[in-house]
Structure 1
Amino acid sequence: MELIWASEEFVIAGRPYTGFPILLTDDMESFIPANEFMRHYLLRGAIGSERSWPSTGRAMYDYLSFLQAHELDWRDVDRGEAKALVAAYRDYSKKECGLAVSTIRQRLHYICQFYLYSLSKGWINRLPFTTEERKVKRETGFLAHVDSSGGKVQVNDVMPRSHKSLPKFLSLNQVRVLVEGVKNSHHRMLIRFALKTGLRREELATFPLAYVLDPDKAGRSERNIKIVLDPNDGHGIRTKGSKVRDIYISRDFLSEVVKYAQVFRGERSSLAAKPSKTLFVNQDGLPFASDGKGIERIVRTCGSKVGIKVHPHMLRHTYATHTLVVLQRRKSNIEPLVFLQRQLGHSSIQTTMIYLHLINEIADNAILAYDEELNDSIESI
């Protein structure tokens, strides 16, 4: 069994799909059922994001390789409950491989979808799992009073129970240690930008230079500058789900970003033969990969040098947590959760509420105070 990534020659309905996962058998022939499923599952309208491709491909590859290593046939679904294929893979992943529950759940989700598709195509006569009713903790929210489910949902019985943990974020002292410990001007601005905006790593990687306008020269008098992140404006920003949203950056910090772009970024970008459209460029003056993995490595490396375990999404959590605290402490005409939801680009406010639970648990800690610069950036919103 082998997993490969398609080249530009891989075309479906006239469109090339570079990097699409393809499973091959030992004799290098297409594993037709799995590949047909992935084309159906990944390229349909609801699951069209290329970010889903690698995880789905690896999940299918890992599962089918497990079956092959144990001389099992993926179609042998009538083995009885004690020897169910998917359940055996789940237990193997946990006990032998030591995978995190979240990783196992993600892989099992794709595998279960594969079997549901196989059943619809008539490749198998039953599913190697059943459904069961589980009780879940629901957040209190709009229309909660008309929810008749009783907090119960139907789930596949092979799914391990999830254990939600609160997101991790940096304390004020950790933020200072991290920023002061970064000597590279490009890396320092990248980290500060993430802490000031809460952008995802893909958004940091593709943030356009065209969005960075000097507020003084542009005649802007606001204390906080609104920037519209629009994937369709031709500048190349990539947002989750290609959704348009507004973010606010303080006038003072935006002025710092302008100076960085003119001096440090300008010097680095001159190394490349072709000008880059992104604010942040790598050491060769070229844009980072749009998935932001290069930025992931930079942030983790910078953190390790000062003894702090950190990644870009933790910087996002840091921004969200401290911003919510500041907004709650101030008397203003905005709803803190609604503002934060829009700033972060969450589809549901339920996602944003996780930060509310977080600060409620640690409300007595001094680490909730954020730096004055961030306070200024949202003071007049």
Structure 2
Amino acid sequence: MAEKPGFSTASIHAGYDPDSHLGPINIPIYASTTFAQNGLNELRGGYEYSRVANPTVASLERTIAALEGAKHSVVFSSGMAATDTVLRILLRPGDHLVLGNDAYGGTWRLIDTVFGAWGVEYTVVDTTDVAAVEAAINERTKLIWLETPSNPFLNITDIAEVAKVKGQATLVVDNTFATPYLQQPLELGADVIVHSSTKYLGGHSDVVGGAVVCNDDALDEELRFYQGGVGAIASPFDAYLTARGIKTLAVRMEQHSTNAEKIAALLDASEHVKEVHYPGLSTHPGHAVAARQMRRFGGMVSVSFHTEQAAREFCTSTELICLAESLGGVESLVEHPASMTHQSAAGSQLEVPRELVRISVGIEDAHDLEADVARALQALS
């Protein structure tokens, strides 16, 4: 294929060609822990031990790299393992990083407790304010960590503008919410991309994983050293499930986005709702930036109710939308971040208001989701 393939074509075909022996259309699950060698350290196909490298895992890495328009992708056993590895490589005791004030609670907890004990310092800022990001950077700043859209408020940061002011710091973007279908941070000036592939990449709530994407050869070499040396590598079966999920990423993200737009509009019209946080709404402060740097606005919707009681009642009143943590699967989920995914941030600068609810809008029929949300809102009357 002479021309660069489209996104959906790459999702299905990039990273794997059917082998000439049996020609399986899908990448096989290479469940072997070790591989026969032709002689002493004479590898047959470049593989020796699956903690270091595995053909199924390598195929997934090539696919993710292709979708992000990158040279390199390294996959891990979870999104947090990917996050930890990036931080370990890029930071040393005494270094400083800039972190958004609306970051995932698990990311903040890792930075605050594990890396804080190691002597790493951090400054929390509103990354949607590029001037504030620039002001927070000092001579010891080695890393800027962005989430856009952020978790759980769905704030939008202008990646290209932050890239202009980052100086010598490495700009890392957590692209989990957007996925490479909606947003490609490397093209906007980011240095590193992190994914929790547990979410939209896998897409079916049946596999845990993570990925780090970059164009830097030296960083890729370090990532692979840590991947095998520490051992937080994805299993062949997990890699297979993630690769299978990616094949439908484009069509899923389109439906996620379409459904989320309808749910956001429904919530925005309700008297029970104080504010809807969805970048697809023209009233969202990051709408213009999101429209510029994203293909569509994604499947996540957060909503502030007038009281914590209303937020909790809404979470327990939906029937089709399941009360559960995580996000990005084909099924719709609702949660109360302050007491679930972000409870570790309680009392910190990243504490989540208790009247906030986060909805991962799935790909069910939109009218069924709208009816379920309407019933839950009516229960608040």
Q: Taking structure 1 as the reference length, what is the TM-score of the superposition?
A: 0.22
Larger RCO, structures 1/2 (Cα 8 Å, 6+ apart): 2
